[in-house]
Structure 1
């Protein structure tokens, strides 16, 4: 059986480099292409140089050719770029793993529509540990469904452009669903001034941005006389990359469908 051919979007970026390293170190997949926007610093150079060892695959700005060379595209870029890449993958019949966050509701619908024709894993966080936390939150919310206030606290590096993080929002969604609430109606994003007493049905979000924090997430269940905290801290971006490659392998042989990491890990 031939190894799965993977193309990496945004190859010059922090996440792109991690993805290249993860693919090059996985015996079940091969790096078929690495691409970036025109004018990106590594276009025209060996993708392996980004992780310290030449591999013979050049970083290109020819997006169509890069996607055509692969079986699956892994994308952690920006919503506008990801949707362009998705359109090409859909046209060419290629699978796609999307770790990009910050999509609008309408943009998410574009992903849903594409998944009717190609297989897509779309998840706010690809790390296996984070997805274990999602499962733990389901259990905690069922148990702590009365008398506990829920707060989601997240911290990321200064360069992150969206807030709250996609992972924090998914954590809120998981808890809200288990509690029979609609997150759009009960979420509180930050507080200031005289806010009055906390309404028990709300789910609060607090966002921290600074330095080089890779990603910290905590869901706090605060009751009278006790607090339960479920926390995940990322020491590097490699867990996201490893999970993404695992997701790409999951899509191999599938014709279409929209999946997330809970599907990939068999946690449904």
Structure 2
């Protein structure tokens, strides 16, 4: 079998399993590695066992074993784990697709520094639909720059550990940048008690956690006499897996550099 040689971090998780299923079904990709933490109950098992398949790829915790044959690592884990993977990949010339969210400024700086040694696609959401939605939000923000209040509502499953979601924050950043504002200054992430009138320059966030919601995001541009809502709703994690493979294909001819899904989709092309 030929094609992209891809390893998956967090192989026993919900997203990791979806990535493994998608990679093994792709004609131009080959699963060559799968990583979990050293204490995982899945350590040493076949990466495709949950599908009833024998892939011949044993789930490992040691980077040297799990990444021995990989050209690209796809990582949707946690910031601390992703940064460990990042260090190893940068040192060994392994490209990365990073869909992990919740990085602080230092983590983002580490990713940028690693991109000087290897090629990385880093985005808070790998869905093609979400990234098209972000472009629509740029257009909407330009038109609704005055007289419209902006609120972002996101909903995810009960197991998600960071809030607001990375996608919601990215939506806020896109809108704020378009309007010439700094999200760190205008973002409102909690309201309680007597808050006073709404600051018209603010961008509000509301978070919902419950059940098995894969990911819903809605941006409201609320004016006097009308309200425009731009929404994206995910019904399956497969959209993130397909976007990740698209990102991996984009990296095929790249040796270094930091890219995002706008680059992958050609939105940044001049």
> Structure 1 length normalisation: TM-score?
0.98
1:208 matched residue in structure 2: 208
1: CA distance, partners of 2:53 / 2:267:
36
Deviations 1:219-250 (A, max 9, x none): 00000000000000110111001101110111
Offset of residue 50 of structure 1: 2.2
1:113 matched residue in structure 2: 113
* Residues 167-178 of structure 1 mapped to structure 2, 5 A cutoff: 167-178=167-178
Offset of residue 52 of structure 1: 3.0
Offset of residue 36 of structure 1: 0.6
2:226 matched residue in structure 1: 226
The DSSP-based 3-state class of the residue aligned with 2:15 is: helix
2: CA distance, partners of 1:244 / 1:104:
22
* Residues 17-28 of structure 1 mapped to structure 2, 5 A cutoff: 17-28=17-28
Range with greater deviation from structure 2 (40-49 or 6-15): 40-49
1: CA distance, partners of 2:87 / 2:51:
29
2:143 matched residue in structure 1: 143
Offset of residue 267 of structure 1: 1.3
- Give me the CA root mean square deviation: 1.1
1: CA distance, partners of 2:129 / 2:54:
31
1:34 matched residue in structure 2: 34
1:100 matched residue in structure 2: 100
C-alpha change, 1:59 and 1:86, in structure 2 (3 Å) is same
Deviations 1:99-128 (A, max 9, x none): 000011111100000011110000000001
Matched residues, number: 268
| Contact 1:67-1:88 at 8 Å conserved across structures | no
2:71 matched residue in structure 1: 71
2: CA distance, partners of 1:73 / 1:64:
13
Is residue 194 of structure 1 aligned with residue 194 of structure 2? yes
2: CA distance, partners of 1:206 / 1:51:
36
1: CA distance, partners of 2:122 / 2:215:
19
Offset of residue 2 of structure 1: 4.3
Q: Which runs of 5+ in 2 are unaligned?
A: none
Deviations 1:4-31 (A, max 9, x none): 1000001000000000011001111100
| Contact 2:2-2:30 at 8 Å conserved across structures | no
1:161 matched residue in structure 2: 161
Deviations 1:147-188 (A, max 9, x none): 000000000111111000000000000001111111010000
| Contact 2:217-2:233 at 8 Å conserved across structures | yes
Give 4+ residue runs of structure 1 displaced > 3 Å after superposition.
none
2: CA distance, partners of 1:163 / 1:39:
26
Offset of residue 253 of structure 1: 2.3
1:6 matched residue in structure 2: 6
| Contact 1:36-1:63 at 8 Å conserved across structures | no
